[in-house]
Amino acid sequence: MDSETLPPRIHNAFLFQAFNAVSWQICLGSPLILFARELGAPAVVLGLLAGLAPLTSSLQLLVAPHAERIGYRRLMLSGWSARVVMLIFLALLPLAAVYMPAPATIGVLIAIMLAFTTMRGIATCAWLPWVASIVPRAVRGSYLSRDRTYIGIASVAALATSGVMLFNHRGLNAFAVVFALSFAGGALSLYFLKRIPEPVQRALPDGLTARTRWRDLLRDGAFVRLLIFSATVQLFVLSTAAFVTVFVREEVGINDGTILWITAIAALAGIGALRLMRSRIDRLGSRPFLGLVFLWWAGYYLAWFTLAANLTGGRMMLAPLLLIAAGFFGSIYELSLTRLLMNTAGDRPAMTQYFALQSVIVSLLAGLSPIVWGWLLDTIHATSISVGRLTLNGYALFFGFQWLMLSVVFLALMQVKEGNATRTSTLLYHVLVAAPGHRLAAITHRGHFHQ
C-alpha cells in the first residue's frame, strides 16, 4: 500500500460511520433528551442519560490490553451487533409508555441505555487502533475530514427527518418512529463494518509487547499534555450541551422539531468546516485550529450569558445562530483533536491502551460532569441575584460560571505542543487578513481587466 494514499475499500469505513451516525445522533443525542423530558425527567436524569456513554467507556480499560489478541474486527463486530439489538427495545418503549407510569418508563429507559452504552464501551476501544493501523500518518487528516463529512451528512439527514416526525406530532408514538430509524441505521452500519479492510498486524521491536503498564503511559509527556487538555474541554465545555438544548427549549421557546432542524443545520455547517480543513490540517497542523476553536468558545458562552441575563434582544434569532456556529467549530475541534491524538499515540507500541486511556479518563470526567451540571442547574434554577442594575437568573449564573472555567481550558491548551505546526496567530492572520486581501485584489484585478 502506498504510504501517501488511503487504502482500498476504505469507503466501507465511511459508510459504516455514516449509518452509525444516523443511529447515535438519535439514541444518544437530542431526540433521547427530548423524549426523557417529555416523560417529565428532571435535569439530573438528563445529565445521567448524557453521561452513561462516557461513564461505561471505562470498560475499555479491561478490554484494551487484550484487544489486539482478540482482534479489532472481531471485537467491533461483537459489540456493535449487541448494541443494535438494544435499539429494538428503545424503539418499543414509547409504545409501552402509555401503559406505564412515567417514573417506571424513565427507569426502563435508563436500563436500556445502560445496556446499550455498556456494549458500546466494550467494543469502541478497537475502532481508533483499527483505523490507525490501516490509514498512513501522512493522510490521516484527509481521512478524518472525509470520515467526519460522511458523519455530518448522515447527521443532517437523521436530525432533519427526526425534526419532521416530531414537529407536528408531540405524542410518544412519534418517538417510537424516530427510535426505529436509529435501529435501522445501526443495522445498516453493521453491513459496512464487515467490509472494512482488515487491520494491519504491526511488527513490534524485539523485547516489546503490545501490552504495557498503564502508569508507564502517564510518563509520556506529549500524550499527558494532550490528555489534560481534552479532559478539561470535556469537563467544562462539551458536557453541558444537553443543558443548552434545555435552555433553548424552555427559556427561548423553540419547539422540539425546530430544535432538531437547527441541529441538522449545525451538522451541515460542520460539513462545511470539514471541507475547509481537508486540504489544510495535514499542512498546517492541529494546534492552530485548537486555538481558533478556543477563541470561539470564549465568545460562545459569553453570548449565552448575555441571552440568559436579558442583556441582548433577538433571542429567537441569536440562539439558532449560536447553535449552528457551534456545529461549525465543533467539527474543527473534533477533527483537530482526533488527528493530533492519532499522530501522538497511533504509532507507539500499545497504541490501543493509549487510545483507551485517553477515552476513559476524558469520558469518566464527561460522564460525571453532566450529572453534576444537572444537579447544579436544578439547584440554582429558581435563583435570582441582583448585581447593580443587572439581575442574574439560574441560567445566567450557569453560563457565567462556564465562561469563567474557560480559563482552565486555556491553561491546558497552552501546554499542548505539535511539531511543525503553524501558530494560531498566523492562522488568524491568514483567515482574517491575507485571504480576504487576496480575494479583494483578485476582484479588483478582474475589474481593471474588463475596463
Domains in the chain with CATH codes = 11-198+212-446 (1.20.1250.20)
- Cell digits of residue 50: 448524557
Reported pTM: 0.78
Q: What CA–CA distance (Å, rounded) separates 130 from 74?
A: 11
234: β partners: none
Helical packing angle, 140-167 and 315-345, nearest 10°: 150
Q: pLDDT tens digits for the chain (451 residues)?
A: 445 678 888 999 999 999 999 999 889 888 898 899 889 888 888 888 887 887 888 888 888 888 888 888 999 999 999 999 999 999 999 999 989 998 999 999 999 999 999 999 899 889 999 998 888 888 888 899 999 899 888 888 887 788 778 766 667 888 999 999 999 999 999 999 999 988 876 554 544 445 678 888 888 888 999 999 999 999 899 888 878 888 898 888 888 778 878 887 888 898 899 888 887 888 888 899 999 999 999 999 999 999 988 888 788 899 999 999 999 999 999 999 999 999 888 777 778 889 899 988 887 887 788 888 888 888 887 777 877 777 788 888 899 999 999 999 999 999 998 888 788 787 887 777 665 655 665 556 555 555 5
Give residue 395's identity as a one-letter amino acid code. Answer: Y
Length of the chain: 451
The DSSP output letter for 209 is: -
Strand pairing category for 390-393 and 384-387: antiparallel
CA neighbor of 400 nearest in space, from 294, 304, 258, 286: 304
Q: What separation in angstroms does the CA of 138 have from each of 141, 155, 286, 346?
A: 8, 27, 13, 12
Give residue 439's identity as a one-letter amino acid code. Answer: R
Give residue 151's identity as a one-letter amino acid code. Answer: I
- Cell digits of residue 212: 504495557
Q: Are 417 and 225 in contact (CB under 8 A)?
A: yes
